[in-house]
């Protein structure tokens, strides 16, 4: 019987992998399917909490690599994974997204001649300064199955010389997860728990090096958030990386004392989903949040010069403002005042219908049975 190993390591991987794992085990209980957690995110707030809320089983294997620089973390995953796969070699190794664990697993699969499937293939920001962009390009170059979320991804892959028969437009498994858990998230009523009025607050999440790894950039963003918080409540879900940088730059006390700025440790998946679905606007640098707000119809202001998810600009509510905090404030306040298109005008991207995982498994069935 076919054997498939699914590799997860960081928060976004769990939302993307959960529906695929469920489909594989539901449709093929006789297949050998393993969930392997690299331990890239080992904090309960960023890892185990998501597994519980997504009702994913405990990983069959936890490599426990922990934190480190990009090079150190990638190398640790490669060493541990190679040792594991030497003892039990799967027919397919499946990776998700663009984190360090994704790249490490792709390189190991390539060296060991294990066929690789990449879920969320073909996305491009065309900015090689982003570690995630390098991870995406290399992973796609060595993948046998490239499962794409939007039409631009297929264009990118064909431009890079990928054969058409290896590309499969299946939709977005992160949206599968969102649609499955949307009702449960709404029932949590996180806005009320945070003491804010639905539609009258802004959610903030930041973690990209370009925003948080430079003291001047972090100070500028914090000043802008303080100004925004003086006009409307701001709920800031603080990523561990960002929390550490605030401490490093001596800005933590200022952030926590700012009037109207509510600082929270990383929220669980359902809590965060509940919070953004009732927000008046979201300010972020996260790729996944750009997609989630597109489906939810919530105005999204992205603090980046580019996005690898252009469909969120053409079909969704996303707008890029780069590092221009003045534009960020203008867009956020306009959204709160209702001067932007919201839910009734949203066009849901093609195949973002909750069935992406089904399509992925159907493709693998055809390949593995031939």
Which residues have a catalytic role annotated?
A: 207
- Its sign, for the CA torsion 241, 234, 52, 100, is negative
1: three-class secondary structure by DSSP: coil
DSSP string, 141-160: HT-SEEEESSHHHHHHHHHT
DSSP string, 281-314: EEEE--HHHHHHHHHHT--EEE-SS--S-THHHH
Separation between Cα atoms, residue 179 and residue 181, nearest integer Å? 6
DSSP string, 262-282: EEEPPPPHHHHHHHHHT-SEE
H-helix or E-strand containing 355? none
Give CA angle at 8 (7, 11), nearest 5°. 165
Listed in sequence order, the residues at least 6 apart from 106 whose beta carbon sits closer than 8 Å to its beta carbon are: 95, 116, 118, 138, 139, 142, 143
DSSP string, 202-241: EEEE---HHHHSSHHHHHHHHHHHHHHHTTS-EEEE--HH
Q: Which of 6, 56, 67 is nearest to 269 (CA)?
A: 56
| Residue found by looking up tokens 């969930």 in the block | 35
Separation between Cα atoms, residue 140 and residue 127, nearest integer Å? 16
370 CB neighbour count, 10 Å cutoff = 5
Residue 301 pairs with which residues in a beta bridge? Answer: 283, 319
């Amino acid at each position: 019987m076919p054997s498939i190993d699914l590799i997860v390591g960081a928060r976004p991987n769990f939302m993307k992998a959960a529906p695929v794992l469920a489909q594989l085990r539901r449709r093929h209980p006789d297949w050998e399917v393993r969930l392997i957690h690299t331990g890239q995110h080992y904090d309960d707030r960023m890892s185990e909490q998501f597994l519980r809320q997504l009702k994913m089983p405990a990983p069959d294997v936890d490599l426990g690599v922990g934190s480190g620089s990009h090079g150190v973390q990638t190398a640790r995953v490669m060493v541990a994974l190679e040792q594991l796969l030497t003892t039990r070699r799967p027919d397919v190794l499946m990776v998700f997204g663009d984190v360090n664990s994704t790249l490490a697993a792709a390189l190991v699969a390539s060296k060991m001649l294990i066929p690789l499937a990449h879920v969320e293939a073909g996305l491009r920001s065309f900015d090689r300064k982003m570690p995630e962009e390098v991870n995406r390009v290399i992973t796609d170059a060595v993948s046998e199955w490239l499962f794409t979320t939007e039409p631009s991804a297929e264009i990118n892959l064909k431009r890079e010389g990928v054969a058409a028969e290896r590309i499969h437009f299946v939709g977005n498994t992160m949206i599968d997860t969102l649609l499955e858990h949307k009702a449960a998230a709404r029932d949590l009523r996180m806005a009320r728990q945070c003491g804010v009025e639905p539609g009258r607050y802004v959610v903030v999440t930041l973690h990209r090096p370009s925003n948080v790894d430079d003291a001047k950039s972090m100070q500028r963003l914090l000043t802008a958030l303080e100004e925004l918080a003086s006009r409307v409540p701001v709920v800031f879900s603080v990523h561990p990386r960002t929390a550490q940088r605030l401490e490093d730059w001596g800005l933590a006390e200022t952030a926590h004392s700012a009037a109207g700025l509510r600082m929270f440790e990383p929220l669980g998946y359902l809590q965060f989903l509940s919070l953004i679905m009732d927000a008046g606007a979201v300010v972020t640098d996260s790729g996944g949040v750009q997609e989630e707000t597109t489906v939810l119809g919530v105005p999204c202001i992205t603090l980046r010069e580019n996005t690898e998810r252009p469909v969120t600009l053409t079909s969704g509510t996303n707008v890029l403002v780069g590092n221009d905090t003045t534009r960020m404030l203008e867009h956020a306040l306009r959204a709160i005042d209702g001067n932007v298109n919201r839910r009734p005008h949203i066009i849901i991207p093609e195949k973002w219908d909750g069935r992406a995982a089904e399509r992925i498994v159907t493709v693998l069935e055809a390949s593995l049975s031939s």
